[in-house]
Amino acid sequence: MEIDEALLQTQSRLTAEGCALSDLLGHFRNRISPVLIGDTEWKQLLDCAVKLPIAMGAHPFGFEIPLHTREPLAELCVALASGTHSAENFLVQAKIHSSDDIARAISLLLKRIEKKNSQLREIVGRKLMLQFVSASDWESRLSLRSLFLRPDLKPILGTAGREIDVGIIAKSLADSFGWSMSKKQLNHLQQVHVAQPSDTRMDSFSINPSKSRAIQISILGFSKSQDISNYLVDVAWTGQLSVVDAIIARFAQRMRLARVGLNVDVGEKSVEPTLGLILIVEQRQTKDSRYWLDGLTDWNPVLQALNQEDIVIPEKLQALVDLPSKPTRLFASSGHYIMLCGIHHIKLVIDQSGLVGVKAYVYMALSDDSTA
């Protein structure tokens, strides 16, 4: 069975398990160590997920977990696709609650994707991703950290000459929150693509509605540290190259850095100084290149390298060692499901002073057992 068909079948079956995503997450508390997500913080996640449809659990979902703070905080990461029950939920919310900025933004993007001969859909397909902030005021509304679009059907590779497509994605994100994009910012965004090495690809575009009007772009596939330095110079990055070079050098001494990625924030005036350095396991491959399957110990060299950083909490690293799981069969009222848990990627956050943050992105992936 094709992956997209399997997603639709899993969505359909999940509706028999409950109404809200919290009905699903409530079963998985024992899969995440309280060192990573505390009991109070887990309750907050459930309070957030109660406002999201359970069908969103058919897509991989997960959490952003900071490894540089002792507080067991987390943010919820989910996805949905146009033309599904999950998408309809946001379209209805946007109609009923005109003041709901999040539902309205998602609704605008969904309508643009579904539009006949949609240029946006040709590039990103039907999927968008959401990250919700951990907060104590979810009783009033969801709090959105970031909204993502990912080039999917037409990957944006280095030297591809896809400046127009970069503009389409970025403008679509800005338009969804009613932001106008200056010609200067658009030129910066397009230069970020033009300067890409040939063996890299733009993995995602995201916007943080509560932050500055920057578009964050994730670029994966850098194989040489010199390529990263050259790239940052070419895009007129405003941070300190020596800081990045030093961090890459010390990680290269501890582990094999086959490939790394960058997160760059493209603002209205420049490419901003804060930078994300993304560590991803190279061997993740399935028959469909959009999806991955890591081994249970693939992340150990990365975690061991991180353990030498004073900023990182050792107990959280140990909890991450124990997180990845083999495919596990779950029994539910609607039948059997297969669950996978693991690490999606780890990001180093760098500013002018050095390494200021480390974040792990962990995932859970659920599928109908009959599709396995």
DSSP H helical ranges for the chain:
3-14, 21-25, 39-49, 85-96, 101-114, 119-124, 163-176, 183-194, 225-234, 241-254, 300-306, 314-321
pTM of the predicted structure, to 2 decimals: 0.92
How many residues are present in the chain? 372
Query: Tokens 């540290």 map to which residue?
Result: 225
Q: What is residue 298's predicted lDDT score, i.e. its pLDDT?
A: 83
Assess contact for 133 and 142: CB atoms under 8 A.
no
The alpha carbon of residue 185 and the mean position of all alpha carbons in its chain are separated, in whole angstroms, by 23
Q: What is the pLDDT of residues 18-59, one digit of tens each?
A: 899 999 999 999 999 999 999 999 999 998 899 899 999 999
Spatial separation of the C-alpha atoms in residues 80 and 61, rounded to whole Å:
10
Phi first, then psi, for residue 140 (nearest 5°) are: -90, -40
Contact partners, residue 285, CB within 8 Å, separation at least 6: 292, 293
pLDDT at 320 over 80: yes
| DSSP 8-state secondary structure symbol assigned to residue 82 | T
Element at 331 (helix H, strand E): strand 328-332
Q: What is residue 138's predicted lDDT score, i.e. its pLDDT?
A: 42
Mean pLDDT over 264-287 rounds to 82
Q: What is residue 282's predicted lDDT score, i.e. its pLDDT?
A: 64
Q: What is residue 29's predicted lDDT score, i.e. its pLDDT?
A: 93
Q: Tell me the pLDDT of the chain averaged across its residues.
A: 89
Q: What is the pLDDT of residues 83-141, one digit of tens each?
A: 888 899 999 999 998 888 889 999 999 999 999 999 999 999 999 999 998 655 444 45
Q: Which residues pair with 362 in a beta bridge?
A: 63, 343
- Residue 324: pLDDT band (50, 70, 90) is confident
